[in-house]
């Protein structure tokens, strides 16, 4: 019986991996690995002769969160999507530091090794805080920033922040079952994609297995998450996109970010939660392309 269960579990894992591979392939992404000083880093890359776009995921997420979004980008653009250390298929070492500053160092080593050159960075949540710090330290290399539901500033405590302070339990980490994982998805997104139940079970199991490294990452990033002091010095073009129904980071933070960044545009998506590139991938990609082409797109939208 145990043998049959193991075979069935392996079969389901294979199906999940095939589904993830199919999404990456549909977006024109190739899976690669590179060894950096911190260890092995996994990344997706799409070749292109146009702009170079760097897509940075949030805490507890990975490079797969960008596949549906990438499908709607320009076919001419080069795209690099890393699993930041401590995430996905990259190095998961509890002895490493995963602060925002350290993630910038890891990212800079990766982009130097890949000859990325002049770049545009699209960052989500924690990845947006990394993007801000990267642009501050390497401003000659960064042409523009696009920040999706960005961590790094706080004007109004979010629902998640209040729950964490009241209970001491992080809603995004309190995962014990597939039902808990489904609640996490509903918490993070107002328009989540459909996920079959047996995929939810596998994703929940993987999430539970990462509890220690995710706790380590969370404890590290809160040490230097606040990017407020550097924002007025960033004069490059910035687009801020936020889901109005974000429970993880309050939508009020978008206005503070807009006020502090001198050359920024802001757009709020009415029916979207914390993860616009998954909830509304085509609209989010279109807004990014419009912005990078030099046109204004700053008004509120219904996705």
Q: What is the pLDDT of residues 216-265, one digit of tens each?
A: 999 999 999 999 999 999 999 999 999 999 999 999 999 999 999 999 99
Q: Regarding the domain delimited by 2-292, which CATH topology (the fold level of the hierarchy) does it fall under?
A: Rossmann fold (3.40.50)
Cβ atoms of 122 and 148 closer than 8 Å? yes
- What pLDDT was estimated at residue 300? 62
Tens digit of each residue's pLDDT (9 = 90 or more) over 261-275: 999 999 999 999 999
Q: Where are the domains of the chain?
A: 2-292
Q: What are 26-59's pLDDT values in tens digits?
A: 999 999 999 999 999 999 999 999 999 999 999 9
Quote the pLDDT of residue 243: 98
Question: Which residues are CB-contacts of 112 (< 8 A; sequence separation ≥ 6)?
Answer: none
């Amino acid at each position: 019986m145990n043998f049959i269960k193991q075979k069935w579990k392996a079969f389901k894992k294979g199906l999940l991996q095939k589904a993830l591979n199919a999404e990456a392939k549909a977006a024109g992404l190739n899976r690669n690995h590179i060894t950096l000083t911190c260890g092995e880093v996994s990344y997706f890359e799409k070749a292109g002769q146009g702009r170079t776009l760097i897509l940075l995921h949030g805490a507890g997420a990975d490079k797969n969160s960008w596949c549906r979004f990438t499908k709607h980008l320009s076919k001419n653009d080069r795209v690099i999507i890393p699993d930041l250390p401590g995430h996905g298929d990259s190095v998961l070492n509890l002895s490493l530091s995963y602060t925002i500053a350290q993630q910038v160092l890891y990212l800079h080593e990766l982009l130097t090794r890949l000859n990325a050159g002049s770049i545009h960075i699209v960052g989500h949540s924690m990845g947006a805080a990394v993007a801000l710090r990267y642009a501050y330290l390497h401003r000659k290399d960064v042409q523009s920033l696009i920040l999706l539901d960005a961590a790094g500033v706080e004007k109004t405590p979010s629902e998640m922040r209040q729950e964490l302070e009241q209970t001491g339990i992080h809603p995004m980490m309190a995962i014990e079952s597939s039902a808990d994982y489904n609640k996490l998805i509903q918490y993070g997104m107002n328009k989540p994609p459909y996920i079959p139940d047996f995929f939810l079970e596998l994703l929940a199991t993987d999430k539970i297995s990462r509890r220690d490294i995710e706790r380590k990452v969370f404890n590290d990033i809160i040490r230097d998450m606040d990017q407020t002091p550097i924002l007025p010095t960033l004069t490059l073009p910035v687009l801020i996109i936020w889901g109005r129904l974000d429970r993880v980071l309050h939508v009020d933070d978008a206005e503070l970010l807009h006020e502090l960044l001198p050359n920024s545009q802001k757009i709020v998506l009415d029916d979207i939660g914390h993860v616009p590139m998954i909830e509304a991938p085509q609209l989010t990609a279109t807004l990014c392309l419009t912005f990078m082409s030099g046109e204004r797109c700053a008004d509120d939208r219904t996705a």
